[in-house]
Structure 1
Amino acid sequence: MKRSSHLKKLRTEEFDCLIIGGGASGAGCALDSVLRGHKTALIEKTDFAAATSSKSTKLIHGGVRYLEQAFKNFDFAQLAQVRHGLEERHTVLQNAPHLARPQALVTPVFSWFEGLYFTIGLTIYGWFASGKDTLPGSKWLSKAAVKKRIPRISDNIHSAVLYYDGQLDDARYCLALVQTAEKAGAVVANHVEITGFEKNAAGQLTAAHAKDLQTGEEILIKAKVFINCTGPYADHVRQLANEAQVPRIRPSKGVHVILPYEVLGGEDALLIPETPDGRVVFAIPFQGKLMLGTTDTEYSNLEKEPQLEAAEVDFLLETLNPYLDKKVNAQQVVSGFGGLRPLIASDPTKGTKGLVRDHEVEHDKTSNLVSLLGGKWTTYRLMAKDTIDYIDEHLLNQQNTCTTDKQILVGGEGYTSGGWKELVGISGLSARTCQYLHEHYGSRVTVLLEVLNENVAWKKELVKGYPYLLGEVVYAARYEMAGTVRDFLARRVRLEILDWSAAQQVAGEVAKAMGQELGWEEGDSLKAAEGYIEQLSAIRELAQT
């Protein structure tokens, strides 16, 4: 994806649909729109999946907590949310097999009655899954069986219930959606901010004013339909289009901490079924670490990126410790992150924990802006389908079939889980590195190998203990529209969320390689590295004090 050529098209062409926001919902809408034959453009203020869509718990699921609340409160909206999530789970796994895979989860219990309760509940949870779903069913495990699967589990447990959901690399999955849309003909660009709209005499939107945040250039983008997919920031765009719009979004902050893999010591994830604030918490193996989260607190300072705070670290560790044979402490935290949920304020009397993670397609007839509000990662495709269905029927007067349920994403074509073994002989790289590259890039790994073969130095590992290669920086800048150090370290690879110290350590080398590929001016690489290190230092300090 060559950013300059896409920016030229944004300046000179008119589109059927301009999608504002490059997270999961925006990327999903872009793919659905372009596959239906609409001339489509997608712009993102920061980077693809930079906000909510790279800060998830990395699970593809219907929501065990929603199922329990549905039955306890006779809440059919919660039940529908579970059903939609489990129906979509199969599709998310199927369409990008290199980036999404089944994940076993264990729910520990401390009595026979608890075991029966969760066995019944998780059996019902499985009944809601798609008929095409191939994940194993749930089962009740003895204490001895649990200890074999999770060596560091507490001896105080009685037993546990095992079930399966899916796991994805959220930032890479979102990028694959963007790449697939671009391959189908969509025009896409990151680091482009919407600043306002032009309207006709009737007050309907005709063009968007935008700014290239990397060059400062002002861009006017013409389109027939404008789609707001900015998640927690949706009200800002809604009110840019029509200042009379009443706010609809109640952002909720959720944080995660990253611990050493050995804290649990097994491949299974842990579901902690009850916390003092009425949530569930997950401890999930992710790319060689253990990810623990999440929390749920109201958040209003949308001008500031949500960050992990020391009190939140303490809360999550205190929640996990009763389930471990050896307690963990804050000094063992190696990284963490905070994100926002875009909850719809359907009931102002409810706290954010009581709001359903469903979505809504809103059409403001005054401005003609369409906004996709709410939702969650697992149902991104259904959210996009509902949005483009509405636009086809009500705004473009067309009848097109949604085909995204069968669209394999870039990198997923012909993918097999053992395909990495073939790379060992042809690449000269270690088996560990080949397995990582295969699971990270899928079928696109052949293009990466071509890049690596341009310079033997690019096959060098970026940092000890991780499989990332220097040549990936070049590849990300050339083919994946990475334009900043953080684009690469936080989202093209996941080093920032896995290890703060390691990310700071390699920032200079990343900036240098990126600058050479993108033609930065002398001194820009050093400035970019220093700026990133300073930003990450502030994030670390907030979590540790």
Structure 2
Amino acid sequence: MNRDAAKRQLQTDQFDICIIGAGASGAGAALDAALRGYRVALIDRGDFSGETSSRSTKLIHGGVRYLEQAIKKLDLAQLKQVRHGLAERRTVIRNAPHLAHPLGLLTPVFSRFEGLYISFGLALYDFFAHDSTFPKGQWLSRKQALATMPTLTPRMHSAVQYYDGQLNDARYALALAQSAAEAGATVANYVALTGFSHDTTGRVNQATLTDQLTGDSLTVRAKLFLNCTGPYADAVRLMANPALEPRIRPSKGVHIVLPRSVLNSDSAILIPKTPDGRVVFAIPFGDSVFVGTTDDDYHSLSEEPVLEPAEVDYLLETLAPYVAEVPKRSDVRAGFGGIRPLIVSSRADTKTLLRDHEVEHDETSGLLSLLGGKWTTYRLMAQDAIDRAGAQLNQPVACTTATHYLVGGEGYHFADWAKLQQQYNLPDDVCQHLLRTYGNRADRVAALTRTDASLADRLLDGQPYIRAEVLYQVEHEMAVTLRDVLARRWRLELADWQLTAQAAPQVADLMAQSLGWTTGQRDSYLSDYLSLLTAFREQAGMPTDARSFA
């Protein structure tokens, strides 16, 4: 992916479909459309998966809570959603095995009756999945549960274990965008939609864009525009046709990040009920544990959702009954928030709104909008949207994404890290990190260390990130800001604000070298980023005096 070349193509080419928003649904739709042979442009006002798609719980699932509601309320829509999610789990993992894998989840129970009830529900979950690639759920004795996760509370009666999937969401979305580019799509980040032009019939036929890095104005022409901007979809819909009614009810969800020792396990915890009717997860991710999420109305779409003190307390209190040693506020390393794009309905609160999706066609402007949805079903969402686009273009073509490997996925075997170690003499943990991050392209990153031995150096003691990765991400993954690298190409910002601040100066040096930043630009970008990290800590109500980053 080359951003300058993409900008030139946006200006000069005539596209069949221009997709606005490069999160899970937009990048997935771009890949789907490119594989069908359409001329495709994919644009985003920020980075790939810069918003909601990089701030998920990192789960690929049918939704055990949705199944419970479907059965209790005889709700066929909920049941359909569960079945779609379960069917897609295997495909998500199959197409990018370096970025997604099965994950065991434990639900501690405190009575035999509770264990029977949850075991029955998870047996139904397995039944609807029809998936032999995932282990079946089982009811564990207290001894078995503690052997799996030693930090669970000894007060539990037993625990029920089941399996879902886990993914590195930001890198998965990046892999979708990269795969779309390699299939022929024109892909560019940091180009913001600022307006539409209409033909004599009132249909949108071109869009005005602004390069967020240079201020340049661009015009892109397309036969059809597809809105995949998630919680921001209404703004694009109203830009195309001001007479439309809002369809999205944004919901904020946050996670806190704790040390991996809180679980001391490769399995996760599902907390099946909270006083306000939510489901909360505690999930291992690298050397951290993500605990979340909340579910509240959100109205400040112009502001990034951040972790707040009451949310920290709520998640710590929710986790407390399930672990032997309750984490303290001082154990929180970081936190992050995201905005769900829930579709407006008559239901009373965001906890009960369906996460299912809808493809809307505005007959006046011709705009297609992909609304709602969740990570697990991104491929089905994209398929539905491009099916609809093909019909509008009078050029229907069948979808082929179900068996299309994403970049890095084909022929991937994690055990190949040992070959990488032998070939490049890099430490074991670095090689394992490279395989999990870049898949079968890990050797392309490692090869950079042969031309410059200093590129094999770690950025942080005890962490697997090496200098070569920054140059690779700039050159091949369209990383153009510090946050692109630290928050999304790596997930360090999500996991530990202190370590992120320590790594940022070296990352700034490497990016300045690769992107031609002046010393003044390098210093300004670094200062702004460190100030952002400090603000996150302050907004979360965490101490800043001794750990301020600026």
TM over 0.5: yes
The 3-state SS of whatever aligns with 2:214 is coil
The 3-state SS of whatever aligns with 1:165 is strand
Instruction: Indicate the residue corresponding to 1:511 in structure 2.
Output: 508
What's the offset of the Cα at 1:43? 0.2
Cα distance in 1 between the residues matched to 2:450 and 2:183 = 28
* Contact residue 60 and residue 89 of structure 2 kept, 8 A: yes
Cα distance in 1 between the residues matched to 2:503 and 2:426 = 20
* Contact residue 411 and residue 440 of structure 2 kept, 8 A: yes
CA change 1:203–1:130 in 2 (3 A) is farther
What's the offset of the Cα at 1:483? 0.3
Match of 2:370 among 366, 369, 372: 372
Instruction: Indicate the residue corresponding to 1:63 in structure 2.
Output: 63
Matched, 1:308 2:293: no
The 3-state SS of whatever aligns with 2:7 is helix
AA of the residue aligned to 2:471: V
* Contact residue 24 and residue 53 of structure 2 kept, 8 A: yes
Cα distance in 1 between the residues matched to 2:109 and 2:193 = 50
The 3-state SS of whatever aligns with 1:194 is strand
Instruction: Indicate the residue corresponding to 1:266 in structure 2.
Output: 265
Alignment of 1:146-545 (within 5 A): 146-347=145-346, 349-393=347-391, 395-544=392-541
* Contact residue 90 and residue 130 of structure 1 kept, 8 A: no
AA of the residue aligned to 2:216: E
The 3-state SS of whatever aligns with 1:166 is strand
Cα distance in 2 between the residues matched to 1:378 and 1:274 = 22
* Contact residue 360 and residue 368 of structure 2 kept, 8 A: yes
What's the offset of the Cα at 1:522? 3.0
1:292-351 per-position Cα deviation (integer Å, ceiling 9, x unaligned): 00000000110000001111000000000111111111100001100010000022x420
What's the offset of the Cα at 1:172? 0.4
Instruction: Indicate the residue corresponding to 1:102 in structure 2.
Output: 102
Cα distance in 2 between the residues matched to 1:538 and 1:454 = 39
Cα distance in 2 between the residues matched to 1:512 and 1:178 = 27
Cα distance in 2 between the residues matched to 1:324 and 1:387 = 43
Instruction: Indicate the residue corresponding to 2:2 in structure 1.
Output: 2
What's the offset of the Cα at 1:536? 1.1
Cα distance in 1 between the residues matched to 2:393 and 2:121 = 44
What's the offset of the Cα at 1:488? 0.4
* Contact residue 20 and residue 42 of structure 2 kept, 8 A: yes
Cα distance in 2 between the residues matched to 1:333 and 1:270 = 18
The 3-state SS of whatever aligns with 1:419 is helix
Cα distance in 2 between the residues matched to 1:448 and 1:126 = 39
The 3-state SS of whatever aligns with 1:106 is strand
The 3-state SS of whatever aligns with 1:128 is helix
The 3-state SS of whatever aligns with 1:411 is coil
| Aligned residue-pair number | 542
4+ long deviations beyond 4 Å? none
Runs of at least 5 residues in structure 1 that lack an aligned partner in the other structure: none
Instruction: Indicate the residue corresponding to 1:52 in structure 2.
Output: 52
* Contact residue 414 and residue 432 of structure 2 kept, 8 A: no
Tell me whether 274-283 or 442-451 shows the greater mean CA deviation: 442-451
* Contact residue 197 and residue 241 of structure 1 kept, 8 A: yes
* Contact residue 424 and residue 447 of structure 2 kept, 8 A: no
1:356-382 per-position Cα deviation (integer Å, ceiling 9, x unaligned): 100000000100000000000000000
Cα distance in 2 between the residues matched to 1:3 and 1:354 = 41
The 3-state SS of whatever aligns with 2:414 is coil
What's the offset of the Cα at 1:452? 2.5
* Contact residue 418 and residue 428 of structure 2 kept, 8 A: yes
Cα distance in 2 between the residues matched to 1:350 and 1:400 = 40
Cα distance in 2 between the residues matched to 1:422 and 1:446 = 10
Give the CA RMSD over aligned residues.
Answer: 0.9
1:120-141 per-position Cα deviation (integer Å, ceiling 9, x unaligned): 100100111145x410111000
* Contact residue 153 and residue 325 of structure 1 kept, 8 A: yes
The 3-state SS of whatever aligns with 2:197 is strand
What's the offset of the Cα at 1:417? 2.3
* Contact residue 460 and residue 503 of structure 2 kept, 8 A: yes
